[in-house]
Amino acid sequence: MRVVVSGSNGLIGGALVGRLEQRGQAVTRLVRRSPGRDREVQWDPRAGRLDAAAVEGFDAVIHLAGESVAAGRWSAQRKAEIRDSRVNGTRLLASRLATLAEPPKVLLAASAIGIYGSRGDAEQTESSPPGSGFLAEVCRSWEAACEPAAEKGVRVVNLRFGLVLASRGGALARMLPAFKLGLGGRVGDGEQWMSWITLEDVLRIVEWALDDGELRGAVNVVSPQPVRQVEFAEALGRVLHRPTLLPLPAFVLRALFGEMAEELLLASTRVSPRLVTTRGYRFAEPELEGALRSLLSQLSH
């Protein structure tokens, strides 16, 4: 199988490329810089530049590129960059695929559980309607940007990623310094739901979605056991043998991060991976504390 991957420098993309190559698949990376090695194709999502001929003849496209939502406080400019990097890049790629005489059989496109917004204790499945807020609006437009490829007959899968936990990088790496010092604890009231998943399960689900020719549409890429934020903090504290007594009040977060705090840190999104579980997928790490122990043990090797 010949596969094109965008976002190959990110947490998921970097691990995925190595995983696919281990499977014997020929991976070509979409990169914004000048190509510096074999199997790289340059594109410029901001300028709308991508040579359709460069993505001709591939079996699959995995589109993971997009600006980080957690890189800094959301100014109007930052929000525009987040939105445009996702929506415009996806629309450019999907529209180019739609012009091909023989387009790829499948487009796996990143999305996020932010599409559901903050919904309290209500469980969200793939059939739940979108919520409200900036991230929900971005995700709706992000997924809709795949339409040109779907209309061409490409099997489109929208991978709605939850909080991805990895031994190196990502959200866990940002949390560890404070928790190791005993400075972790409840955020806000701690009752908000966190829908998490390990990087290993992310990679396995992406591979599964690549291979399952019947799968299309939205797929929630989360563990079957979401937890409340205070439960997450306590589990991480137990694994690290550190106290988790220091609360971080909501008003402090709002003062520091504004809208970003409301949607990333205080929002409650309880998401179920109903589609993958009903289709027989078995999680490598379904339970949080065991997953954290496994991930942190990797740091000592």
Tens of pLDDT, residues 187-242: 999 999 999 999 999 999 999 999 999 999 999 999 999 999 999 999 999 999 99
Whole-number pLDDT of residue 34? 82
- Torsion sign, CA atoms 284, 120, 177, 7: positive
| pLDDT, tens digit, 9 for 90 and up, residues 74-92 | 999 999 999 999 999 999 9
Q: Report the relative pairing of strands 2-6 and 60-63 from DSSP bridges.
A: parallel
Find residue 256's DSSP bridge partners.
none
Question: Which helix (H) or strand (E) covers residue 156, if one does?
Answer: strand 155-161
Distances (CA, A) of 182 to 16, 235, 255: 33, 13, 23
CA pair distance 58, 102, nearest whole angstrom: 9
Residue 71 has pLDDT above 90, yes or no: no
Going by the DSSP 8-state scheme, the letter that residue 6 receives in this structure is E
CA pair distance 85, 159, nearest whole angstrom: 17
Closest CA to 16 of 177, 159, 203, 209: 203
CA pair distance 9, 13, nearest whole angstrom: 6
Whole-number pLDDT of residue 246? 93
Closest CA to 2 of 16, 21, 19: 21
Across the range 89-113, mean pLDDT stands at 97
Are the beta carbons of 201 and 284 closer than 8 angstroms?
Answer: yes
Across the range 106-128, mean pLDDT stands at 98
Q: Model pTM?
A: 0.96
Residue 33: pLDDT band with limits 50, 70, 90: confident
What letter represents residue 108's amino acid? L
CATH 1.10.540.10 corresponds to the domain 2-165+198-222+272-283: no
Are the beta carbons of 2 and 57 closer than 8 angstroms?
Answer: yes
135: left (phi over 0), alpha (psi -120 to 50) or beta: alpha
Residue 35 has pLDDT above 90, yes or no: no
* Token pair recorded at residue 211: 């291979």
Whole-number pLDDT of residue 189? 96
Residue 281 has pLDDT above 70, yes or no: yes
134-144 and 76-98 helices cross at what angle (nearest 10)?
Answer: 10
Whole-number pLDDT of residue 72? 86
Residue 301: pLDDT band with limits 50, 70, 90: low
Residue 137 has pLDDT above 80, yes or no: yes
b/e code 265-297 from CB counts within 10 Å (16+ = b): bbbbbbbbbbbbeeeebebebbebeebbebbee
* Token pair recorded at residue 220: 């929630």
Least confident of 30-39, 101-110, 153-162, 211-220: 30-39
* Token pair recorded at residue 233: 């903090």
Whole-number pLDDT of residue 299? 82
